[in-house]
Structure 1
């Protein structure tokens, strides 16, 4: 059992035993040296392990021996609690710049925080910060740390931990695992803190879009929009609205999608959300290509290519879409094909290498293009959960085999497009 001490002001608590241990270690004192003249060593040991709550006069004497005043310590604890609260609020409102600033501030107090009752929330939201910041190495390390800590989590903290794991697996591309976590959490929806509902609905909608389950995705995206509006969370509202726009596009509701994109492009610009503005423009080009406005899409993608940081996943995605638009408008894509190859050499970048090879074969009308689509692209996309891409290749193969009057194969790929593309297997 962990004991807390109450300060002079009613209701303020602090895990005092760990604080005493922190300052004793910091001052290079043994338990014997600190306890001398104040209490027994066993008494101090039980206090430091939070197994015993000593008299307030004993606590003051122990802290004073190390030059620490209890009231000032309470003030410091309150300030850290407020700062961690701000860190959490920034994560909920997608204020990454402020999160980065507060993170640096909190890291300077890391050793002290480890000795307080604030440590669980601090470590949980560091995990969220690393995911937001797309820091794969630190996110993986934090995931392992939280696994060791989870026995000490309260019920709400366990829920948050599960939710952040869903976000982590989504970040590393394991969408099936991410979806499994979300489905488990659906059962406990009533226990979700109200301010977290929008985040949960948004992530659910996002994963359903990736699974091509658009009607259900729209349901959760609309719930996310309502929640973010209720809590005046305007940046996350833009994210949820973008999911709806993507959803409308892929359901061929182009008028609704275009109307929403018009609002999003304006509002992401006005709020200086540069990254989100670029993502909005990128997704808008999908709608333009569906309308066969390839020239307009080309202009936007060329602008994005110049604006986006080169060594990123998003840059490769922009370059891939740019190649498609160049092919459709009769532009020579050779230089960009070579660039995509050159920046997609890592094992985890096979998706982009496959597309680079596809565009190269398509550009030079190579006779093995359809064989490549069938044996390489279709199999890779299908085996790795790229549902939208799998369906697109299936549609291309269905058209090819229909022209060849190979009806059995044409029927297989057409059936895959019609029936099998929209569910996670």
Structure 2
């Protein structure tokens, strides 16, 4: 506990000058050094200064220990993905905000507030907190610097800039020894998540397996489910369908038993990708239709489910005109451009093939490349390659066929 900061907090709160507080106890210069924590006074001096303001030292020590424990629980909830408890603790801590600012707990508190805002997808507060932490970072210890960089990776991921997020993660590889061991799983998980979005599935699987082991070691069961979902996605995209199906079986059961409804829905959604690869379009369609009824409308996940539902309907030869119109209607804003592009794509599939291919080449491919959608870029490139082979336009067919190989699965 920084006694000097606490003394300054109560002096300011009581609207006392340094002269008024120091009188009869110590010199003004002595008090100034105490308040700046440049000098550690005798306990009797601390007691006298606090008592003059009606504050007892032993109660302050107890208060500090209580807040330290609460902030520790706030951090643990972050690591174990207990968002509901985090929200409750956040409200409690905010009532003590001014006091916390006067203690050495402030760095951790402000760092994990940033994490909380990212979890809560509160873009405005996350942006404000990011700016505040930039001003504070000169006071960070080595582990706090590492955590700050890591949270910035999470921030850019939330903002949709996966390239920048991965850059932050790559810069942290050598500093993993600076953080508590129980934090390693979070790092490995985030690295695996960014790599799967970059279509680098083998490396992503490596980090997902490390995350699984770390979460198992620390009995972090909810985050373990997250890491296993990533592994199942990796297995699916590497065509390890038996391993993927076995893992999805476990995940569907465990997310249901632990009443993790959001994770259960996400598991089912990703499972349909495996079903489509196995040509089980009917089963995929059934799951996606059930999800569409359960998921809250006009959320990002609802739009993702609707897009996959459209894909399954088209593959199954079903009339999807109503669903196309719905996706168009709910994806008109600029932040929904990804879904709007897919709505137009599905609509154009009902018309001429040349018009559809022109749309893929002129609109879809540039958008996916610019925004780092690797998997989608590869899918469109494959579709264009097949089209130009049929047209016997070999140069264009070859360009799109070798597109992914030349880029190594990543944008240059």
- TM-score normalised according to structure 2 size: 0.97
- Determine the structure 1 residue equivalent to 2:299: 312
The Cα shift of 1:147 comes to 0.7
Instruction: Report the alpha carbon displacement of residue 250 of structure 1 after superposing the two structures with TM.
Output: 0.3
After TM superposition, list the pairs within 5 Å mapping 1:355-366 onto structure 2: 355-365=342-352
| Cα RMSD, aligned residues only | 1.4
The answer for the alignment partner of 1:200 in structure 2 is 187
User: In 1, are the aligned partners of 2:310 and 2:324 still within 8 Å (CA)?
Assistant: yes
Contact 1:387 1:421 (8 Å CA) reproduced: no
> Aligned pair in 2 of structure 1 residues 153, 421: CA closer, same or farther (>3 Å)?
same
Which among 356, 359, 371 is matched to residue 372 of structure 1? 359
**Would the aligned equivalents of 1:388 and 1:421 in 2 still touch at CA under 8 Å?**
no
Question: Which residue among 390, 393, 403 is the counterpart of 1:416?
Answer: 403
Count of matched residue pairs: 412
1:117 aligned residue: 104
Q: Distance in 2 between matches of 1:272 and 1:66?
A: 51
CA contact (8 A) 2:349 2:356 kept: yes
Find 1:404's aligned residue among 391, 395, 398. 391
Please say if 1:231 is aligned against 2:218. Answer: yes
Note the C-alpha offset of 1:365: 4.5
Shift of residue 33, structure 1, vs aligned partner: 2.5
Report the counterpart of residue 266 of structure 1 in structure 2: 253
Structure 2 CA distance, aligned partners of 1:315 and 1:194? 36
Deviation at 1:404, TM superposition (A): 1.1
Task: Report the equivalent of 1:60.
Answer: 47
User: Within the alignment, does 1:395 sit opposite 2:395 as a pair?
Assistant: no
Select between 323-332 and 277-286 the one with higher mean Cα deviation.
323-332
Alpha-carbon distance between aligned partners in 2 of 1:421 and 1:171, rounded to the nearest angstrom: 25
Pair 107,311 (structure 1): closer, same or farther in 2 beyond 3 Å: farther
Q: Offset at 1:103?
A: 0.9
- Name whichever of 118-127 and 314-323 sits farther off: 314-323
Between the aligned partners of 1:293 and 1:174, the Cα distance in structure 2 is 34
Q: What's the offset of the Cα at 1:191?
A: 3.3
Change (3 A) 1:108 1:199: same
Matched, 1:103 2:90: yes
2-side partners of 1:356 and 1:129: how far apart?
A: 34
Distance 1:228 1:131 in 2: 21
Gap runs ≥5 in structure 2 = none
Offset at residue 350 of structure 1 (A): 1.3
Q: Aligned partners of 1:46, 1:157: CA distance in 2, in Å?
A: 26
**1:164 maps onto 2:151 in alignment:** yes
1:43 aligns with 2:30: yes
CA distance in 2, matches of 1:42, 1:365: 84
Whether 2:324 is the aligned partner of 1:337: answer yes
Match of 2:209 among 215, 222, 239: 222
Alignment of 1:260-299 (within 5 A): 260-299=247-286
Task: Give the deviation of 1:367 after TM superposition.
Answer: 4.5
| CA offset digits 1:336-381 (Å, max 9, x no partner) | 2222222222222211111111111113456411100111101111
Q: Distance in 2 between matches of 1:201 and 1:131?
A: 18
Distance 2:7 2:45 in 1: 11
Partner residue in 2 for 1:351: 338
Contact kept in structure 2, 1:268 and 1:274, CA below 8 Å: yes
Aligned 8 A contact 1:390 1:421 in 2: no
* 3-state SS of 2:172 partner: helix
Q: Which residue in the other structure is 1:10 paired with?
A: none
Aligned pair partner of 2:136 in 142, 145, 149? 149
1:264 and 1:280 in contact (8 A); partners too: yes
Of 298-307 and 144-153, more deviation after overlay is shown by 298-307
Larger CA deviation: 310-319 vs 228-237: 310-319
Question: Mean Cα displacement is larger for which, 413-422 or 244-253?
Answer: 413-422
Partner secondary structure for residue 363 of structure 1: coil
Offset, 1:27: 2.0
Q: Deviations for 1:169-192, whole angstroms, at most 9, x for unmatched residues?
A: 111111111111111111223333
Q: Could you say which residue in structure 2 is the equivalent of 1:3?
A: none
How far is the alpha carbon of 1:167 from its aligned partner?
Answer: 1.1
